[in-house]
A and B are shown apart, each in its own frame.
Chain A
Amino acid sequence: MFPRSTVCRGAQSAVRRSAVHPAQRRGLAAPASGSFQYQSGDAKGVKFASRDFAGPTTTLALVSKAGTRYQPLPGLTEGLAAFAFRNTERRSTLRIVRESELLGAEVRAYHTRENLVLEAKFLRDDLPYYVELLGEVASQSKFDQYVYKEEVLPLIIAAHKRFLANPAEMAVNSAHSLAFHRGLGNPTASASSVPYTQYLNAEAIEYFSKIAYAKSNFAVVANGAEHGEFSQWVNQFFDGVPAAPIEQTGVGAEQTKYFGGEERIAHAGGNAVVLAFPGSSSFTGKSYKPEVAVLGSLLGGQSNVKWSPGFSILGNTKASPSTYVKTTSAIYSDAGLLYTSIVGSAQNVAKSAYAVVDAIKKVAAGEISKEQFAKAKAAAKFKELENGQDTKAGIELTGSGLVNNNQAYQIDEVAKAIDGVSEEAVKKAAASLLENKATVSSVGDLFVLPFADELGLKV
């Protein structure tokens, strides 16, 4: 199919192997062997985890501890994500893309606040090819200045423009930077042109890649791969990556602290308010509080059921049905943020913001029916378990758990933790939100949008 020189050895030998033992091949109708549990392991210093979902496809990801939190200079994470799957020592960008097309696969790279994820989805049989590809991207990527100028920079500029045109995203980023200052507070896209005019170039990104793709800083996670086979390929294809980062920068390593505050940004393109409070870290982190997830789904704002406002408090008390209100419990490795984002027309956003504070007061005072609480618990548990089934969320959480705490994200246990949340704990959590410093950021028509003290929040 491909010219001989570029056909990977691994893929060839895999084909040969399974041709010899056709009985080992998993077909479509093979029974589900696994649960949600990930099996984890270590191959020459590379951490990996996999679970054998029944099904003809596999999702494979390299999760690196190189999100915006850990970037030593602004924009490096974005640059590195855009440099993924480009020219390597062995293949060109075009060839990688074409080969993936031929195999019917999908590759992409994205980043979050804490992680940089290189992801590939493909047919089960192509596992060795993609393990090799990820190994190659991690160890043999070429960082040419002209590729940066021609292909990477336009992507970064586009992300910057998209960011500026989206008040909701601006508000969420502003809330994070108020809440956590540096580290987790770094914006996920360039908030100004400064990163790419002053800090970014191919060399800087290459330097960062030597940190991001060091064995101690990433984990490889597979969904729908047989563990033994997977460990064999990981063992084989990750020899080229450095064992330790080129330099211990220590950026983002310190324990995240919550600060809080208020920021108001004028914007003509829409209105958004984000009310944020200290939340829960991920299950693998230290400050895990399952009651925050329940409180989040109790406040809610979005309905799970069509043609109804849903059971959540904000779903019923928001200013109009067209106002977008959503409460998210954002969890990070060592901290979390519980935030409600409100997007809509200025008047409705302002009214809904008051409704959020009222709702929290109501929960703190215990004016919540048993039934509502039970529904919230069920919704939170469902979301958590769905996180497990939905490969995208699960893969990132698992990889990040492995890198940070040497522990895969075990969804069964998280669900159990949520089951154990009592009404009292949620009440206490809500009360503590009002006592502590809140984070309020408003983007849009500042004449109408309320200040934090008007809402009755301490900042």
Chain B
Amino acid sequence: MSAPSLAPFILKRPWLQKFVSPLAKWYVNAAGYRQLGLRADDLIPEENNTVQLALKRLPPKEAYDRVFRLRRAFQLSVAHQLLPKAEWTKPEEDTPYLTEAIQTVEAEMKEREDLEAMVITKRQRIAKVAH
């Protein structure tokens, strides 16, 4: 599920981005998932219907790679090891491959709920003609 994020706000303002990005780089590195070969989207909790549906919609290659990364990371974690530095996830590889699909699913659900809650009013003219 997509968490609330300040990122779009910051990205819109270059001066702010310049200020924040070193901090972000430090944070991502300290989080340590790249050292296990993971991507940020691999960390999204998947135990809910939204993400499950989004996962089903991944292209087969993406889905396979994701499982591979997760299993490798799990193995590393069990062995208390990190990947050799050359195999760490590079910043340009760390793409939000799942977020987009999750947002689509969320939008669909929201639209459904909005339509359920819709209040119907007759068009003025028809209302007048009919009664």
Q: Determine which residue in A19, A92, A145 has the highest number of CB atoms from chain B within 10 A of its CB, and name it.
A: A92
Asked if A94 and B120 sit within 8 Å, CB to CB, the answer is: no
A146: chain B residues at CB < 8 Å are: 56-57
- Supposing A1-B120, A102-B120 touch, asked if A94 and B111 sit within 8 A by C-beta, the answer is yes
| CB of B126 within 8 Å of the partner chain | yes
Give the interface SS of chain A, mostly helix, strand, loop or mixed: helix
- Supposing A1-B120, A145-B59, A146-B57 touch, asked if A95 and B125 sit within 8 A by C-beta, the answer is no
Interface size on A, residues (CB 8 A): 14
| CB of A308 within 8 Å of the partner chain | no
B126: chain A residues at CB < 8 Å are: 125
State A94–B111 Cα separation when bound (angstroms): 8
| CB of B112 within 8 Å of the partner chain | yes
B111: chain A residues at CB < 8 Å are: 92, 94-95
State A47–B33 Cα separation when bound (angstroms): 60
| CB of B79 within 8 Å of the partner chain | no
| CB of A90 within 8 Å of the partner chain | no
Asked if B121 and A1 sit within 8 Å, CB to CB, the answer is: yes
User: What per-residue 1/0 map shows which CB atoms of A8-24 lie under 8 Å from chain B?
Assistant: 00000001001100000
User: What per-residue 1/0 map shows which CB atoms of B95-131 lie under 8 Å from chain A?
Assistant: 0000000000000100110110000110101100000
| CB of A416 within 8 Å of the partner chain | no
A95: chain B residues at CB < 8 Å are: 111, 115
Minimum Cβ distance to chain B for residue A36 (Å): 29
State A3–B111 Cα separation when bound (angstroms): 11
Minimum Cβ distance to chain B for residue A285 (Å): 43
State A95–B111 Cα separation when bound (angstroms): 8
Could you list which residues of chain A lie within 8 angstroms of chain B, going by C-beta atoms? 1, 3, 15, 18-19, 92, 94-95, 98, 102, 125, 145-146, 149
| Top-4 shortest CB links A-B | A146-B57, A98-B115, A19-B125, A92-B111
